Structure 1
Amino acid sequence: MNAATSAPASATASNARRAGMAMAAAGAILFSAKAILAKLQYRYGVDSLQVLALRMAFSLPLFAALGIRETHRARARKALPSRRDLGWIVILGVLGYYLSSLLDFWGLEYVPVSLERLILFLNPTIVLLIGLFAFKRKVAGKEWIALAVSYAGVVLVMVENLRVQGDHVLFGSALVLGAAISYALYLAMSGELIKRLGTMQLVAYAMIVSTIAVMTHYLIARDPAALFGLPWQVYALAAANAVFCTFLPVTFTMAAVARLGAGTAAQFSVIGPVSLVFLGAWVLGEKITLIQLIGTAVVLGGVVLLSRPGANSVPLPSSSK
């Protein structure tokens, strides 16, 4: 390849990288903003189950269309899921997008959005601990340091929120931590399926399963009529949550991974908790204290340490059998 042909190729690669960075940043901010929209809906007298049911109902047509497209593509390359794969998709859909979302929105009734996003941002550390206890994975020294730093930051912010807002923060934090654990289990268990089916196909199918689970839960627990006749603002916020904070972040993130690689794209997730601290103050009037800012910086520092390529440096011992 001569200089004349390499220059356009280099420019194309540079443009793709810039586009990937913009998509990764936008995805992180939009996905974090779902907590803001949920908090705004709560002001109209709805609860977490109603907010979740409306979010999933509005996002279902989008993910169904994505699922149809991915099914056609999978059929063309003969990569349709097996019955065993479908069973795992049901389990992952319930764990990753039903139980996790239910606990998350429930927790948001009790904690500020800045603390909610910070606890959810512990996902990489929880995945690491799952690997340690469930799969006997070896943990490097840098990873232990990152774990300690991350959880110290969350404790710092939680103590400050207890001082400012009261004891209900503990209950809400426990719910959000449950959401983080549920989603971490989804991440830890989805690796092989992603290799076989691809990320978009798995996400589309899992979201459809989750929607069915949410609606089944709602029909068992509540009168379906309670979803109708709500203030129009509730439906507008639910539609915005479905489109801008659920479907678009997923597609943006996947597009970013295609352009940057998974590791680089993941680095941009740190923007989410930082943006939410200031969005919560601006939109919801939540207080920002110096201790909260310090705690947020500490957590982000720990997760950045954990996501560096050199951190995961201790492999599992090879089998001697």
Structure 2
Amino acid sequence: MADMHTMPPSPLRDQNIGLALAALGAALFATKGIFVKLAYAQGLDALTVLAWRMILAVPFFLAFGLLAYRDRRRGKGRHANEKVPPRSVFGAVLIGIMGYYGASLLDFLSLDLITAQLNRLVLLTYPFIVLVLGAVLFRRRLTAPVIGAALLAYLGIAIIFGHDMVIEGDTVLAGTALALASALAYALYQLFAKPLIDVLGPRLFTAIAMTAAGVMVLVHFFWTHPFSALAIAPDTFWILLALALAATVAPVLLIAAAIGSIGAERTAVFGNISPILTIILAIIVLGEPFTAIHGAGTALVICGILLFTRLTTQPAIASREEGPIS
């Protein structure tokens, strides 16, 4: 009888590990808005929080990129011994600035004006924008069921938006507009990033894009803030460290591992638990209100997203938990 300790892992075990990685990655992504809100409560503004996120997270992504480049030079992996085209590097820089800088900044500004719950639900609908942009720019076909799923999700957002607008006023309008703009920027990122990822590989692409965005964030920060604005209390530092590592670096790695194990489409399904966890955390940690109207709107959004996930099989849309605004 073969020694159980020497037997290779079963496919079922590998699948279960992949599912667990996807669930944990989605759960960690759900904490992003919570940590940002906690940092705001310490008196920081959006750009300072984003600058610290980049300062703490970019070195990790840069290290992963250097390892990917080393493997490439040593003849390992899918892109073994392939040269790195300067044009693709330049493209990754531009895409990174649009996605990891533009979309993230709009996202963080939005969180300063609306609840973490509404922000998360608005961002969750960006795959619909990907489809619309694909139809406009590349003449991809939109089907009636997919349009129906989008309308269902946006109806849910409209219900919550209308309720919060009555209570909070114009800040809800501005915050929701910023969240939609963030979703648009990330949708553009999704459309144009995939060809570059195919050439550079995901690790090298992410390292280049994230580093370029980090430089852009710091240029923006020091253009508008004195260096002393980076001074923070120890308690605030731990919040920002959690934002950078627990809500950024760790989930990106977990989701990437999950995609490698169970595929992008199955991994994406777990993204649908993320807004639910954000809502629970927002209620418990931040004390945000959650009424029957919020519940109805949230249910419509999640139903729309679930329907959309079942109707679409495009990898660029299915792997929606990999990016900057997740």
Q: TM-score, normalised by structure 2?
A: 0.89
Tell me how large the CA RMSD over aligned residues is. Answer: 1.7
Match for 2:85 among 76, 82, 86?
A: 82
| Corresponding letter in the other structure for 1:196 | V
User: 2:251 & 2:62 partners in 1: Cα distance?
Assistant: 16
Segment drifting more, 231-240 vs 110-119 = 231-240
User: Is 1:184 matched up with 2:184?
Assistant: no
| Corresponding letter in the other structure for 1:284 | L
Q: What does residue 278 of structure 1 align with?
A: 280
Offset, 1:275:
0.6
Segment drifting more, 72-81 vs 129-138 = 72-81
Which aligned pairs between 1:30-109 and structure 2 lie closer than 5 A? 30-77=28-75, 78-109=81-112
User: 1:74 & 1:180 partners in 2: Cα distance?
Assistant: 33
Structure 1's unaligned 5+ residue stretches are: 313-321
Q: What does residue 256 of structure 2 align with?
A: 254
Q: For residues 261-299 of structure 1, give each alpha carbon's deviation from its aligned partner in whole angstroms, at most 9, with x where no partner exists.
A: 011101110011111111000000001111111111111
Conserved 8 A contact 1:142-1:311:
no
Q: For residues 92-130 of structure 1, give each alpha carbon's deviation from its aligned partner in whole angstroms, at most 9, with x where no partner exists.
A: 111110011111111101000000100110111011111
Q: TM-score, normalised by structure 1?
A: 0.91
Conserved 8 A contact 1:305-1:311:
no
Distance 1:15 1:135, change over 3 A: same
Conserved 8 A contact 2:100-2:213:
yes
Which aligned pairs between 1:194-213 and structure 2 lie closer than 5 A? 194-213=197-216
After the TM superposition, list the runs of 4 or more consecutive aligned residues in structure 1 that deviate by more than 4 angstroms: 8-11, 309-312
Count matched residues: 305
User: 2:185 & 2:145 partners in 1: Cα distance?
Assistant: 25
In structure 1, the residue corresponding to 2:164 is in which secondary structure? helix
| Corresponding letter in the other structure for 1:93 | G
Q: What does residue 317 of structure 1 align with?
A: none
Q: What does residue 135 of structure 1 align with?
A: 138
User: 1:73 & 1:305 partners in 2: Cα distance?
Assistant: 40
Q: What does residue 264 of structure 1 align with?
A: 266
Match for 2:120 among 117, 122, 128?
A: 117
| Corresponding letter in the other structure for 1:199 | P
User: 2:51 & 2:213 partners in 1: Cα distance?
Assistant: 10
Offset, 1:311:
7.2
Distance 1:142 1:11, change over 3 A: farther
Match for 1:17 among 12, 15, 25?
A: 15
Conserved 8 A contact 2:197-2:205:
yes
Q: What does residue 27 of structure 1 align with?
A: 25
Conserved 8 A contact 2:283-2:289:
yes
Distance 1:192 1:311, change over 3 A: closer
Offset, 1:13:
1.0
Distance 1:98 1:296, change over 3 A: same
Q: For residues 155-176 of structure 1, give each alpha carbon's deviation from its aligned partner in whole angstroms, at most 9, with x where no partner exists.
A: 1111122233332111011111
User: Is 1:226 matched up with 2:224?
Assistant: no
Structure 2's unaligned 5+ residue stretches are: 76-80, 315-326
Conserved 8 A contact 2:100-2:209:
yes
User: 1:261 & 1:247 partners in 2: Cα distance?
Assistant: 20
